[in-house]
Amino acid sequence: MNPVYISGVSQRIVGRGKPAPPYLKLLADAAADAVTDAGLEPHAIDGLVLSSSIPQPFACNPAELAEYLGIGPAYAAMAPYGGRPATDVIGMARSAVNAGLASNVLVLSADNFATTLGLEGAIELYMKSFDQTYERPFGPLIPTAFALMAARHIHDYGTTLEQLASLAVTIRRHGLLNPDTEVSGELTVRSVLDDVVISSPLTRSMVALISTGGAQGFVVTRRPTGNRAVAVRGYGESCGFMSLTQAPSLARFAHIRVAADQAVTQAGITLDDLDFVELYDPATIVPLILLEEIGFCEKGEGGAFVESGAVDLGGRLPVNTHGGTLAFRHPGMGAALDSVVEAVVQLRGEAGARQVQDAELGLVHGQGSWLANNGFLVLGRVR
């Protein structure tokens, strides 16, 4: 497959607890910023892929959005469901370019439902991810899904709560280097363990933030435009289940490797070539399991791997350099697209205090629901 490029990116920042702008304003601003960043004029855009917001899957269809933005004639598509890995929209844009349907595809995502629904309303909405018929009646919170994984991982592999806490400490340290973070203050292993237990064994500091909103934009192009384009070297995606009861195990997830291998093989690289990874982190157990299943360490060694400092900035495989959803923000469906923005910023060498030295190759992960559906994107610097 021919490489395509992410020539422009944008990221709309709302700020902790502040009301987010209306959905269409977020999309319009993300669009204008991304096209400007790509060094293009709006009329050069001939494709649009819309990433749905969780509660607003059909607030506008992609043709309506293209019309609103004055784009056309254009290819228009949408990823309209929850439980998808969000990174899928970059894969869809790549497919459209490679199929000859478009040459400059605008990819947009926006969320503001925690603004419109309030925090409790947002939590209720997230909980609809659980199967309505056979899971919700038993009262799992979203963190419960990850707590069930953590309990089993601790049982099977001797992973410790200290190890799960240490990853929160590391990612917080990274987040504090991001000028747009919604959190403040260092964490320590002790402070993480002493925090309020949400769903045992997980404390509040081990699970994601809930943000009021945000937006992301990308211009995916056949040829690099501007002079800061990044190459999309590979994309893989695989779902293994959706209901927690249908997962073969809550400690081992073979389908993760399928998707990661697709992306890495397309890129023609090995895991050792990667300079950093951005992993979806709704709870610290998730990146820990991902590091094992992708193959960065042996199965069961994820706890020791994160505790060793390997995943710190300056370590051999920095993880979540922007702070992820634990220590940057979690706007909704676009959380993994914040990771894509971060990877582009890193590969452009524009990450400031959190810059990974000589970053040339990065891996970005997006997750649907609870490791149920995973997407992996390999991005590389253009030489």
Binding site for another protein (CB under 8 A): 120, 123-124, 127, 131, 133-135, 137-141, 144, 147-149, 151-152, 155, 196-202, 243-246, 250
CA 242-157-309 angle, to 5 degrees, is: 95
Give the nearer residue to another protein in terms of CB position, either 139 or 179: 139
Contact in structure between 104 and 225 (CB atoms under 8 Å): yes
CA 285 from centre of chain: 15
Exposure string (b/e) for 262-301, b if CB count within 10 Å is 16 or more?
Answer: bbbebbebeeeebbbbbbbbbbbbbbbbbbbbbebbeeeb
Tell me how far, at minimum, the Cβ of 189 lies from another protein, in Å. Answer: 21
Which residue carries 């709006």 as its tokens? Answer: 42
Helix (H, G, I), strand (E, B) or coil at 134: coil
Give the nearer residue to another protein in terms of CB position, either 24 or 242: 242
Tell me how far, at minimum, the Cβ of 195 lies from another protein, in Å. Answer: 12
Q: How many CB atoms lie within 10 A of CB 100?
A: 9
Structure tokens at 300: 């069961």
Tell me how far, at minimum, the Cβ of 328 lies from another protein, in Å. Answer: 23
The rounded radius of gyration (Å) of the Cα atoms in the chain is: 19
Angle, helices 62-69/23-37, rounded to nearest 10 degrees:
70
Give the nearer residue to another protein in terms of CB position, either 246 or 265: 246
Name the nearest CA neighbour of 369 among 196, 218, 212, 250.
250
> For the chain, first and last CA: distance in Å?
19
Contact in structure between 287 and 279 (CB atoms under 8 Å): yes
Give the nearer residue to another protein in terms of CB position, either 71 or 371: 371
Helix (H) or strand (E) holding 215: strand 214-221
Tell me how far, at minimum, the Cβ of 217 lies from another protein, in Å. Answer: 33
Tell me how far, at minimum, the Cβ of 128 lies from another protein, in Å. Answer: 12
Give the nearer residue to another protein in terms of CB position, either 135 or 162: 135
Give the nearer residue to another protein in terms of CB position, either 121 or 226: 121
Cα 58 from Cα 319, distance rounded (Å): 34
Give the nearer residue to another protein in terms of CB position, either 99 or 196: 196
Please report, for residues 163, 326, 327, 372, the alpha-carbon distance to residue 169 in angstroms, rounded to integers and kept in the order given.
10, 10, 9, 26
Give the nearer residue to another protein in terms of CB position, either 40 or 206: 206
Give the nearer residue to another protein in terms of CB position, either 320 or 373: 373
Tell me how far, at minimum, the Cβ of 135 lies from another protein, in Å. Answer: 5
Tell me how far, at minimum, the Cβ of 137 lies from another protein, in Å. Answer: 6
Tell me how far, at minimum, the Cβ of 250 lies from another protein, in Å. Answer: 5
Tell me how far, at minimum, the Cβ of 383 lies from another protein, in Å. Answer: 47
Structure tokens at 5: 């490029």
Cα 163 from Cα 189, distance rounded (Å): 8
Name the nearest CA neighbour of 11 among 126, 125, 115, 107.
107
Give the nearer residue to another protein in terms of CB position, either 1 or 119: 119
Tell me how far, at minimum, the Cβ of 164 lies from another protein, in Å. Answer: 13
